Amino acid sequence: MDDASGNPAPPAVIVVMGVSGSGKSTVASLLAGRLGWEFEDGDDFHPAANVEKMQAGTPLTDEDRWPWLAAIAAWIDTLRAEGRHGVVTCSGLKRAYRDILAGDRPDVRLVYLKGDRELIGRRMAARHGHFMPTSLLDSQFRTLQEPTPDENPLVVSVGGTPQAIVAEIVETLTGRAP
């Protein structure tokens, strides 16, 4: 769908997804700032029990994730109902998770931050103060089901700087260079 000027119409909500350490929070917050949209970090929707499990190095189960995903989806639906725009992070590792977030919402767009295990592992090892230990990265990659073309994801390499990644996203979504 295009706007009146022929440019692609922006989505109502962008879900920035990828494994832990792919740069979701950094990219999504910069993207929201560039677009003037609201930003929420999906990690903030986790119940305390989930955070405690991850801090202890225990991977989450699907049962752990359902309430978390439902809370993010509720935030998305609130924005959409109120005619507001937002950017939210969520690992979105499985198709079933993304179906909860984007599913039948054509105005929600997935942006998949794609990178290899080695690069993302180095980045995770260098960050401090995050509850997700590097030891869980392998389970993230084992769980990851990359988005398929029918999900209409925007796939962006994490190899560039956060600013370059955001510029690529903005140009692709708006049809204009930032």
Residue 91, beta-bridge partner list: none
Q: How confident is the model at residue 1 (pLDDT cuts 50, 70, 90)?
A: very low
The per-residue pLDDT for 56 is: 83
CATH topology of domain 13-174: Rossmann fold (3.40.50)
SS3 of residue 145 by DSSP: coil
The per-residue pLDDT for 95 is: 97
Containing 66, the helix (H) or strand (E) segment is helix 62-81
For residue 42, give Cα distances in angstroms to 46, 51, 113: 7, 12, 15
SS3 of residue 155 by DSSP: strand
| Residue with more model confidence, 130 or 25 | 25
pTM above 0.75, yes or no: yes
The per-residue pLDDT for 2 is: 44
E strand residue ranges, 3-162 = 13-17, 38-40, 86-89, 108-114, 154-157
Residue 125's nearest CA partner among 110, 138, 135 is 135
